[in-house]
A = this chain, B = another copy of it.
Amino acid sequence: MVRIIVLRLGHRYVRDYRVTTHLALVARVFGAEKMIVTKIEEDVKKSIEEVENNWGGKFDIEEVENWRDVIKEWKDKNNLIIHLTMYGININSIIDKIRNEGKDIMIIVGAEKVPREVFELSDYNIAIGNQPHSEIAALAIFLDRLFEGKELEKNFNGRLRIIPHERGKIVKRSDSIDNSY
- Is there an interface contact between A26 and B125, defined as CB atoms closer than 8 Å? no
A97 near B: Cβ within 8 Å?
no
The distance from the CB of A55 to the nearest CB of chain B, in whole angstroms, is 6
CB contact under 8 A between A162 and B28, given known A120-B167, A144-B141, A152-B92? no
Number of A residues, CB within 8 Å of B: 54
Give the contact stretch, choosing among A1-9, A66-74, A98-106, A132-140.
Answer: A132-140
A86→B134 CA distance, assembly (Å): 20
A137→B25 CA distance, assembly (Å): 10
Contact of A165 among B51, B89, B120 (CB under 8 A): B89
- Is there an interface contact between A170 and B87, defined as CB atoms closer than 8 Å? yes
- Is there an interface contact between B128 and A164, defined as CB atoms closer than 8 Å? no
A166 near B: Cβ within 8 Å?
yes
- Is there an interface contact between A165 and B131, defined as CB atoms closer than 8 Å? no
12 more A-B residue pairs beyond the given contacts A55-B131, A119-B169, A131-B156, with a C-beta to C-beta distance below 8 A: A19-B19, A22-B134, A26-B133, A87-B162, A87-B165, A88-B165, A92-B153, A119-B167, A119-B168, A120-B167, A125-B167, A144-B145
